Amino acid sequence: MPLTFYGLKSCDSCRAALKALAGAGIEVDHRDVRDDGFIRRYAPDASPEANPQLDQAAGFAVRYYNDFVKPTKTYRMPTELEREALIDLRDQLKAWEGGLDAEELQSVVYACGRERFDPLRAWFGALYEVLLGASQGPRFGGFIALYGIDETIVLIDDALAGKFV
């Protein structure tokens, strides 16, 4: 299964990273955030030609992430209890038919942790550390709404398979 790489086709840092991955024999699925990703989801008519400032801002965001955020990420494997809760969350998201309302998705996240974690903040800490490689993060329902349900399901599966550690 190829590594999914989000970046910009026009970004020198992204091209260098892709070249290094190819040189290491790693198969990569390169997704341009403008064409394939998050910008098209919210602004389907946006293009680098029609929106050069948005294109420039996206480039800055990707470079900032690669230079300052990514090097600080520390992922870990879930405990058995966390794995059970993550599988429950994944399964709930697979069956979800409620759209992308952040508060409704937050309720699903709470429900998956409420019976298993006391205090509940331990559940959110696990989500951030296992899935995002950080000790804290956004409200997770809002993250799912922004990132996408299908993408979050893949993120959970990848984390459970140990792809981030």
What residue spans define the domains of the chain?
3-72, 80-160
pLDDT of residue 124: 97
* Cα–Cα distance measured from residue 51 to residue 152, given in angstroms and rounded to the nearest whole number: 28
Q: What is the CATH number of domain 80-160?
A: 1.10.10
Model confidence, pTM: 0.78
pLDDT of residue 33: 67
The three-state DSSP-derived secondary structure of 39-96 is HHHHCCCCCCCCCHHHHHHHHHHHHHHHHHHHHHCCCCCCCHHHHHHHHHHHHHHHHC
pLDDT of residue 51: 82
pLDDT of residue 87: 98
pLDDT of residue 73: 93
Taking only the tens of pLDDT, the chain with its 165 residues reads 677 777 777 777 777 777 877 877 878 887 776 665 677 777 788 777 888 888 788 888 888 888 888 899 999 999 999 999 999 999 999 999 999 999 999 999 999 999 999 999 999 999 999 999 999 998 999 999 988 999 999 999 999 999 999
pLDDT of residue 37: 62
- 3-72 has CATH 3.40.390 classification: no
* Cα–Cα distance measured from residue 43 to residue 61, given in angstroms and rounded to the nearest whole number: 17
Which residue in 68, 76, 6 sits closest to 40, CA to CA?
6
Q: Between helices 80-95 and 149-160, what is the axis angle to 10°?
A: 150
pLDDT of residue 36: 59
Six-digit token string for 141: 């329902």
HSE-CB at 156 with a 13 A cutoff on CA atoms is 25
